[in-house]
Amino acid sequence: MKLKLINKENLTDNIWAFRFEPDEKQSWIPGQFIRVEIPHEQPDEEGAKRWFTVSSAPYEGLMQITTRVTGTTFKRALAAVPVGAEIDMLEAPDGDFVWPDSELPLIFIAGGIGATPFYSMLKQRFHDHQPLGVMLVYGGRTADLPFRAEFDQWAAADPRFKIHYVIGEPLTPAGLTALEPKLNDSLVYLSGPEPMVESLGDQLKASGLPEAQLRQDFFPNYTEANY
């Protein structure tokens, strides 16, 4: 399967959105991911393949990936793809980090670029006039977080959608419980840099969140220093 680059946009800082047209019709559930390959000369040890959330919503037709363009050989190769050129999509969209069918109150916790699956889910639901019944806690090293304007617009339009930004300080069970005292009675989705997701997930379980109420999406190679 091929993805043709239609356009790219610098969202903020070194975060770019790359929008592709698939060569055959793709369907996906918001929150799912794809794996792409961009062959390039002398790839570093991480190689030429990466997983990315499809950060666009299915109604848009185009498949967007949103990522930090850094110094890794893969990211440089991605940034150098000319508009109109194709990259390889290795597998069809997959994953179960999607909007749940649950009666429990819902909490999304994003570390920086980890907001991509939440953005896709909320964008599709907003478009479909479905309720955005979730509290999103969006943590970042700095305030220039991607998707912020749209999240704020959706929160203004739907009072069931609550958003809290936590900038420049770690996300902790105590801080999250201060925002939502019923945290441990909620279904919690956690997405972001792998070390943050692991450590905050462990802390949440240790502070009483049942394991069955925690869903995690790990972004490898991002750390507390670069997410």
Ligand X SMILES: Cc1cc2nc3c(=O)[nH]c(=O)nc-3n(C[C@H](O)[C@H](O)[C@H](O)COP(=O)(O)OP(=O)(O)OC[C@H]3O[C@@H](n4cnc5c(N)ncnc54)[C@H](O)[C@@H]3O)c2cc1C
DSSP state of 133: -
CA distance linking residue 82 with residue 77, whole number of Å: 10
Asked if 20 touches ligand X (CB under 6 A), the answer is no
What region, left, alpha or beta, does residue 168 occupy, with left being phi > 0 and alpha being psi -120 to 50 degrees?
left
103 DSSP assignment: S
Residue 215: name the closest of 137, 103, 108, 67 by CA: 108
* Range 115-154, binding ligand X (CB under 6 A): 116
Integer Cα distance of 101 and 197 in angstroms: 23
Position closest to ligand X via CB = 71
Among 16, 18, 33, 147, binds ligand X (CB under 6 A): 33
Q: Is residue 110 near ligand X by the rule CB under 6 A?
A: no
Among 9, 23, 44, 144, binds ligand X (CB under 6 A): 44
First to last CA, the chain: 29
Binding of ligand X by 29 (CB under 6 A): no
Query: Smallest distance, Å, CB 114 to ligand X?
Result: 8
Burial of residue 175 (CB within 10 Å: 0-12, 13-18, 19+) is middle
Query: Is residue 165 a contact point for ligand X (CB under 6 A)?
Result: no
Q: Give backbone dihedrals phi and psi of 79, rounded to 5 degrees, phi first.
A: -65, -25
- Using DSSP's 3-state secondary structure scheme, residue 164 falls into strand
- The contact pattern for ligand X, residues 201-220, with x = CB under 6 A and - = no contact, is ----------------x-xx
From residue 71 to residue 100, the character string flagging contacts with ligand X as x (rule: CB under 6 A) and all else as - is xx-xx-------------------------
When the beta carbons of 26 and 55 are compared against ligand X, the nearer one is 55
How many positions of this chain bind ligand X (CB under 6 A)? 24
**Cβ closest to ligand X, residue 50 vs residue 125:** 50
Which residue ranges make up the site for ligand X (CB under 6 A)? 33, 44, 46, 50-53, 55, 66-68, 70-72, 74-75, 113, 116, 217, 219-222, 226
